[in-house]
Amino acid sequence: MITKNLLIELLVEELPPKSLNKLGASFAEILINSLKTQNLVTLDAVVTAYATPRRLAAHITQVLAQAPNHAVTTKLMPVSVGLDKEGRATPALIKKLSGLGVDAFVVSQLSRAMEGKSETLFLERVVPGIVLAEGLQQALDDAIAQLPIPKVMTYQLADGWESVNFVRPAHGLIALHGTEIVPVSILGLAASKVTHGHRFEASTHPIVIREADGYAQQLETEGAVIASFAERRTRILNQLIAAAAKENLQFIQDEALLDEVTALVEHPNVLIGKFPSEFLEVPQECLILTMKANQKYFPLLDSDGKLVNTFLMVSNICLVDAHLVIDGNERVVRSRLADAKFFFDQDRRNTLVSRIPGLDKVVYHHQLGTQGLRIEYVRTIAHEIGQMLGGNVLAEQAGEAARLAKVDLLTDMVGEFPELQGIMGRYYAQHEGLGDAIAYAIEDHYKPRFAGDVLPRNLVGVCVALADKLETLINLFGIGQIPTGDKDPFALRRHALGVIRILIEKDLPLEMERLLERVIDILQDKRIAEQWAQRAASQKPTVQTGEIATQNHARHQISAEVNGQLLEFIYDRLAGSLREQGYSAQEVDAVLALHPQHLNDIPKRIAAVRAFASLPEAASLAAANKRVSNILKKVAVDTGSQVDVEHLQAPAEQALYQALIEMQDKVDEAFLEKDYTVALQILAALKAPVDTFFDHVMVNTDDDRLRNNRLALLKKLQQVMNRVADISRLAS
């Protein structure tokens, strides 16, 4: 088989930058998969995707001009239907063969085979393979139809009559098999060898691609376009690193921004710009976000991580004298930073406390009321958690931080850049002299915002973060907004993982179930809503009486099942998190089966379970524990674990009881000291007496007193063995 390499390029108007890389990869993948399905490429064919702001392209190796011929067996019909008594074709068979393009005279060549209880006719023939032009046309049609386009455009073709749909208007199509044009068409375009390079930098207009393998090199040398997205990205990154090093600075690496900039330029050239140092008085987060989001610049930091008034820009043109480009960009960035400075200065004219009534106008949820009402509950919860963790001083600080935590939502800066919520609240609190404890808590109460994010840096922030997340979880569960499948519009899974991480990584001695019960009590306390309503009414009537009544009603409708539902939800999220950390499903199940109330103990417990599972006695003890559990499950009445020593008749049950008595204090002591590894390892001594017990003792004897006493012994055994984890879950 003779193969050649294939090139496909679709020249379009500027594509959406945030989806360019995905579009390029999908375009290439769909093409080669379609060609593979049609047997037009060999098994070792390789596809290379190209994507620039104005083109999607793919280079595919080992492409055949025509697919190999292949044998096809077609089931026709039962012999009794297709042939008459003389063996001649019936009208039904003739019609079937005609539909397949086969003459009836081939009847003698039809094969027969038993299918079920009847003999069936089959047609076996060799079908010519599809030619490349036809197969590529199908592949292109598939690619256009299946591209992950977020929103298509409808535009007219050159004839002024026909309209087509695509992500952007297309202006050219290349289809080269080696050096030959493949006669295909798409989006009203016929294939050719012609494309266009950079709008300003290309040395040749248009560019005639000579052969498929020289596409990328010819496009760069004649068209000043780097066709490969990955190569263009690497060049930009290297230029950024070199430019920053030249200034003895470091640029802020942002993968999403780097991808976006790569999708905006065809011939990158990194330049250095400056802005007036007076703008550095504005919080650097604001300046960085302004430069990155609005201008696609790369801000620079000094060795201490502080922003400097120098930045990097990626130009799409390479000029000997680039001062005009630099000057133009510097003018634009000065305007942007001036806006940020104006917002910052204006926001500081009003205190955070003075903005609190404005939260009464901000809707939190149509069933739960405004942010003003919500913050009253969060403040009370934060105060309660602070009381649990540190007493009155921490409780007062947590309550005050919670009261101010959402106020920056009303500032101009956060209105312009919602990503800065919390951050700006911290700056404004520091400006007012509220102290770092409260200021950092205002910023940190959103944390962790995502997987791997840092946690609140102080206990005040911890209290407010827990209060904020628990209020969200409980109230949204209370109105039935429980995540299902992949739908989680309120990010409740993220909130649950945030609660889990804070409790565990901050080593907080809070009992999960009691904590939820206390928060639910607060959320159902009508006095909080009544006090808020009085305050809101004393202001300009920002909230109508009917709205207040609706909000109060919704807040008090948390059903008794919510605590249990939320507990299960949290433990499910915890189980997933532990498995992602590398623990086995059995290890996780063993620990969480007991629903430990102190989540901060779980890392020690699961580490202890892993250590126990490596002991030679572990498998036998786990199996015995599972057997005990199965026996006790079948008992209608709980006999308790109080063993009557006088009714221990068999030596094996006496020995087991004695072993339990001897080790129980040791297990309890290790458990209370949270030395869970030792608590489990002590159990290894139980292997022999447990094995002997099950070998020689009949538990379900006819003697009720004896049976109940033995069940109580097993109950006691189960309690001792399962202090740390349900080790029966380790049984295979």
- 3-state secondary structure (DSSP) of residue 375: helix
Per-residue model confidence as pLDDT tens digits over 456-506: 999 999 999 999 999 999 999 988 889 988 888 899 999 999 999 999 999
Examine residue 584 and state whether it is found in any structural domain, yes or no: no
Q: What local confidence, expressed as pLDDT, does residue 546 receive?
A: 46
Q: Name the domain boundary from 172, 201, 223.
A: 223
| Mean pLDDT calculated for residue range 335-362 | 93
- The residues facing 59 across adjacent strands are 7, 48
Specify the higher pLDDT residue, 630 or 258. 258
What pLDDT sits at residue 547?
A: 53
Q: What is the CATH number of the domain that holds 714?
A: 1.10.730.10
State which of 347, 367, 402 marks the end of a domain.
347
For range 43-64, the mean pLDDT: 94
74 plus 61 within the same structural domain: no
- DSSP SS3 for 310: strand
Single out the residue in 327, 347, 367 at which a domain terminates: 347
Burial of 552 (0-12, 13-18, 19+ CB in 10 A): middle
CATH number assigned to the domain comprising residue 533: 1.10.3210
Q: Which residues contact 261 (CB under 8 A, 6 or more apart)?
A: 236, 268, 296, 314
pTM, two decimal places: 0.81
List all residues 6 or more positions away from 714 whose beta carbon is below 8 Å from its beta carbon.
628, 631, 632, 699
Q: Is the pLDDT of residue 512 over 80?
A: yes
Q: How far apart are CA 239 and CA 245, in angstroms?
A: 10
Model confidence at 87: pLDDT above 90: no
Give the pLDDT score at 646.
79
Sign of CA dihedral 577, 579, 583, 585: positive
**Of 104-118, 262-276, 528-542, 704-718, which has the strongest mean pLDDT?**
262-276
Unique residue bearing structure tokens 């189980």? 575
162-192 pLDDT, tens per residue? 888 899 999 999 999 999 999 999 998 999 9
pLDDT band at 549 (very low <50, low <70, confident <90, very high): very low
Flag whether pLDDT at 643 surpasses 80. yes
- Average pLDDT of span 628-634: 84
The pLDDT assigned to 271 comes to 95
Q: What's the rounded mean pLDDT across residues 525-553?
A: 64
Reply yes or no on whether the pLDDT at 555 is more than 90.
Answer: no
Residue 591, in any domain of the structure? no
Q: Classify residue 714: in a domain, yes or no.
A: yes
Angle between helices 687-696 and 651-672 (to 10 degrees): 150
In a domain, 593, yes or no: no
* Residue 218 shares a structural domain with residue 256: no
Alpha carbon distances (Å) from 61 to 2, 27, 47, 212:
12, 16, 7, 10
CA-atom Rg of the chain in angstroms: 36
Q: Does residue 366 lie in a domain region?
A: yes
Q: Do 447 and 498 touch, CB atoms closer than 8 A?
A: yes
Residue 367, in any domain of the structure:
yes
Residue 379 belongs to domain spanning:
352-577
210 in the same domain as 330: no
Residues 117 and 83 both lie in one domain: yes
Quick check: is 594 in a domain? no
pLDDT at 557: 67
| pLDDT band of 553, cuts 50, 70, 90 | very low
247 pLDDT higher than 60:
yes
Total count of domains within the chain: 5
